[in-house]
Structure formats: C-alpha cells, structure tokens
C-alpha cells in the first residue's frame, strides 16, 4: 500500500508524539511505501533542532525507508495558546504545498494534534483516492480550554469544537490511545473508534542493561524522579509544595528531568533547595539509564484532564521495574493500570502527609519496592509491547482498507 502520514512531530524528535509517529511510520515502511508530511523538529525544547536551523522552507529526505516532506513551521520560544494556534495554521499552510507532491495514497493517516491537519488529510483523500484514518494522541482543544482559555472565550470554544466535530467526521476510520479517550472520541464523532495505544520497546527500557549515571541519581539518597513534559497537565503547585515540605528529610532527593512551559517557574522556585536537582531532557538512548536508576517515579496530575490525554511516560516508568506514585482523577484509566498490575500507588487527591508516609514505607521495604517494580514491568510487557501493538495496527489498517 501507499501510505501517507500527516503529523507535526517526527524524527529526530525522540520523545512524546514524535517518537510514536516515527515508530509507526518506520514499522509500516517495512512492507509498504510510506511518506510523511511533517515539520522541522523542535520538541521538547521549543527550539528548532540545530541540524535544521539552516534548512530551507521546504525540504525532502529519506529516513529508514520513509520519505519525509518537511515544512519549516513557525516555532515560538515560549508557547501560549494563541502562539500555538499560529504555529498550527502556519504548519497547515506549508503542508498544503507538500500535500500537492503526493500523487497517490491508499491510506492517509492524520496524527492529532493538530486537528486542522485533518482538513489536509481530507483534501488528500479526495485528490488521491485514499482512505482517511485519524489517530488521536491528544484532544488539544479540550486540554487548551482546561488550562489556557478563560470563560469569556465561550464563543471561541463553541466554534473550535464545531470545527473539531466536523473534521473528525471526515474520517473513514479513527483510533486513539486509551479506552477512556475512545469513549470521548465516540462522543465527538460518528465513526466507531479503534484502540491503538502507544507502546513500549522494553528492550530499550531494561534495568538489566541500564548504566549508572550520577547526574540522574545518587547512591547516598532515595531518588524520586519525574521525567517528561513540564506542562499544564500536571499539578506543579503540589509538586513544589511537596518538594519544599520534604527538605527536612535530606535522605530523599527529587530529580526533575524535562522541558515545558512551566519549567522556568518550577526550577526558579526549587533550585535553591538542597533536595532538588533539575536536568534538561535526555536523548532516547540515555532514557534507560535515567528511568531505571530512580528509586520511585512520581506523576502528580490535574484531575480535570481525565480522558483528554494518556501520558505515554507511564509506560516507561513501569518498564523501568521501579514503583510509581501517581495522582489524578478518581476514575482514571491509569488508576486501573496500577490496580491491575499492582506495580505502584494511585491516589485521587494530592495529600502531602499520605505521600510522605508512603515514601518512608517504600524506602524502608526494598523487597516490596522490587516486587512492585517487577509487576509493573511485567504488566507493560504483556499489554503494551511494540511487537504486539504495531502488527495489530497494521492488521486493522489492511482490514479497513479492504
């Protein structure tokens, strides 16, 4: 089949959505002719990668048998809601030009965000005769209005959600990455969604091959790690409050690794504390060393983001064979994952005393922590392994196309 993918994030981005879009494209390229319409890499630093700073407005390259059509989109150094909209529109305009270079498609896969890219996918469906498949990684409008947009923008939200509904109903097939998001998608579209979760390459996140790196952990402290996007969807007020409260227990040390809109604020408030270390994002080939040498992972989520996103970082946390402490909505799919796996702790409220006592308990019971970590790893290997998720997606793709 001739497969065209439209996705804003792609290799050499090696975290977040770009990692999964690249993995999907390169897997399909083993048996099919695959092209992708994308932008220049910028995530997670919100800065165009050094190798692409001097690239032309339009470029074409071949990477691991995938034909890559790039447009050098506007990239704000400090993203806001309206700057993100400008980036979205600019990417769409440039990608229309790249879309004209696609002469035939059997399948067009649009990775959301950006929702506006679905319109380009629809144009390609009409012009090249392909089936339009929409894959939702993030309900971007819902998430934006949970954090960025005040209530006075009710008219704006109504218009955007009507646009979203219209575009989603252009699809022949749709998919998303969690069961909760499937329910959400079914409310927005008449197309019955397919479950296509993100996956883990557990050979790359493997405690048996991890090398110690003293930048990310210390042998003299109990190391508590958050690694990932430092954005609006996590409860950073609680994180800062908790780290501050724990400075009276110097045997516990917090490592924050990542980049995002909240990074300056958080690091600015916590960098003076002796129990806190910030590190910028690590390349994918160092992620194993980072994740597997934590003693415990933490993720404090805002409950209002239930069913809008499914943090892919959860898979890496669990694959590292270390226990996790996660907070969020009381009826969350992530909660179900931890309950079924018995690989960590999930709370529906952020309570300093409860989590502090839990850390004491984990530190005091290393065998319990080891057992929980192994159960977490076993769960993701059995349910989210690359070698089962991607072949099933290909089967679904072929079935729907035929």
Q: What is the mean pLDDT of residues 376-402?
A: 95
Which residue spans of the chain are classified as CATH 3.40.50.2000?
A: 2-199+385-401, 222-383
Q: What is the mean pLDDT of residues 92-104?
A: 95
Q: pLDDT tens, 215-238?
A: 888 889 999 999 999 988 889 999
What pLDDT, on a 0 to 100 scale, did the predictor assign at position 84?
A: 85
Average per-residue pLDDT for the chain: 91
CA distances to 31, 109, 220, 385, 398 from 391, in Å: 11, 16, 44, 11, 11
**Could you tell me which residues are beta bridge partners of residue 111?**
135
144: left (phi over 0), alpha (psi -120 to 50) or beta: alpha
Q: What is the mean pLDDT of residues 262-279?
A: 94
More reliable by pLDDT, 360 or 339? 360
CB 64, CB 26: distance < 8 Å: yes
Please report, rounded to a whole number, the percentage of residues in the chain having pLDDT higher than 70: 95
Q: Is the pLDDT of residue 158 over 80?
A: no
What pLDDT, on a 0 to 100 scale, did the predictor assign at position 231?
A: 85
SS3 string, 268-284, reads HHHCCCCCEEEECCCCH
| Cβ-proximal residues to 246 (8 Å cutoff; 6+ apart), any chain | 252, 254, 275, 356, 359
Strand intervals (E) in 328-396: 344-347
Q: pLDDT tens, 49-93?
A: 999 999 999 999 999 999 999 999 999 988 887 888 899 999 999
What pLDDT, on a 0 to 100 scale, did the predictor assign at position 307?
A: 55
Q: Is the pLDDT of residue 309 over 70?
A: no
Q: Is the pLDDT of residue 146 over 70?
A: no
What pLDDT, on a 0 to 100 scale, did the predictor assign at position 161?
A: 81
CA distance 49 to 9: 12
Compute and round to an integer the Cα radius of gyration of the chain: 21
User: How many CB atoms are located within 10 Å of the residue 302 CB?
Assistant: 19
Please state the length of the chain.
402
Q: Is the pLDDT of residue 135 over 60?
A: yes
Q: Which two tokens stand for residue 254?
A: 């917090």
What's the DSSP call for residue 130?
Answer: P
Element (H, E) at 155: helix 154-168
CA distance 185 to 178: 10
222-383 has which CATH code?
3.40.50.2000
Q: pLDDT tens, 248-257?
A: 999 999 999 9
Q: Is the pLDDT of residue 147 over 90?
A: no
What pLDDT, on a 0 to 100 scale, did the predictor assign at position 153?
A: 61
**In the block, residue with structure tokens 């990239």:** 75
Closest by CA to 319, choosing from 190, 203, 215, is: 203
Q: What is the mean pLDDT of residues 150-176?
A: 81
| Cβ-proximal residues to 100 (8 Å cutoff; 6+ apart), any chain | none
Lowest mean pLDDT among 11-25, 35-49, 152-166: 152-166
Q: Which two tokens stand for residue 41?
A: 């890499």
2-199+385-401 has which CATH code?
3.40.50.2000
Please report, rounded to a whole number, the percentage of residues in the chain having pLDDT higher than 90: 72
What predicted TM-score, i.e. pTM, was given to this entire model?
A: 0.91
| Cβ-proximal residues to 303 (8 Å cutoff; 6+ apart), any chain | 328, 329, 330, 348
CA distance 333 to 310: 8
CB 41, CB 52: distance < 8 Å: yes
Element (H, E) at 133: strand 131-136
What pLDDT, on a 0 to 100 scale, did the predictor assign at position 330?
A: 74
Q: Is the pLDDT of residue 148 over 60?
A: no
Q: What is the mean pLDDT of residues 263-268?
A: 94
What pLDDT, on a 0 to 100 scale, did the predictor assign at position 217?
A: 83
């Amino acid at each position: 089949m001739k497969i065209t993918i439209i996705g804003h994030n792609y290799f050499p981005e090696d975290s977040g959505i770009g990692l999964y879009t690249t993995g999907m494209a390169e897997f399909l390229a083993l048996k099919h002719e695959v092209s992708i319409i994308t932008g220049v890499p910028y995530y997670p630093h919100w800065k165009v990668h050094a190798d692409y700073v001097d690239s032309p407005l339009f470029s074409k390259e071949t990477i691991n048998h995938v034909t890559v059509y790039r447009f050098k989109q506007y990239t704000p150094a400090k993203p806001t809601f309206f700057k993100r909209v400008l980036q979205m529109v600019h990417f769409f305009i440039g990608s229309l030009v790249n879309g004209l270079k696609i002469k035939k498609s059997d399948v067009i896969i649009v990775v959301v965000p950006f929702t506006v890219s679905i319109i380009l996918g629809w144009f390609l469906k009409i012009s090249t005769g392909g089936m339009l498949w929409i894959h939702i990684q993030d309900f971007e409008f819902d998430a934006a209005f949970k954090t960025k947009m005040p209530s006075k923008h009710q008219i704006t939200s109504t218009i955007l959600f009507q646009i979203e509904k219209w575009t989603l109903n252009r699809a022949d097939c749709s998919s998303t990455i969690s069961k909760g998001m499937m329910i959400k998608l079914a409310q927005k579209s008449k197309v019955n969604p397919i479950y296509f979760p993100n996956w883990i390459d557990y050979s790359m996140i493997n405690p048996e091959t991890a090398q110690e790196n003293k930048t990310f952990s210390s042998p003299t402290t109990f190391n508590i790690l958050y690694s990932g996007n430092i954005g609006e969807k996590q409860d950073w007020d609680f994180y800062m409050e908790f780290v501050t409260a724990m400075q009276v227990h110097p045997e516990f040390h917090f490592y924050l690794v990542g980049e995002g809109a909240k990074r300056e604020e958080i690091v600015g408030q916590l960098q003076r504390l002796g129990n806190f270390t910030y590190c910028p994002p690590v390349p994918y080939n160092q992620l194993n060393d980072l994740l597997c040498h934590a003693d415990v992972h933490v993720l404090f989520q805002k409950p209002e983001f239930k069913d809008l996103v499914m943090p892919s970082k959860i898979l890496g946390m669990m694959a590292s064979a270390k226990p996790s402490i996660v907070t969020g909505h009381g009826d969350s799919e992530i909660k179900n994952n931890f309950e079924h796996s018995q690989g960590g702790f999930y709370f529906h409220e952020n309570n300093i005393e409860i989590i502090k006592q839990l850390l004491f308990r984990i530190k005091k019971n290393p065998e319990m922590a080891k057992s929980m970590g192994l159960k977490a790893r076993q769960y993701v290997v059995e349910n989210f392994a690359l070698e089962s998720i991607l072949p099933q997606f290909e089967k679904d793709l072929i079935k729907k196309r035929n």
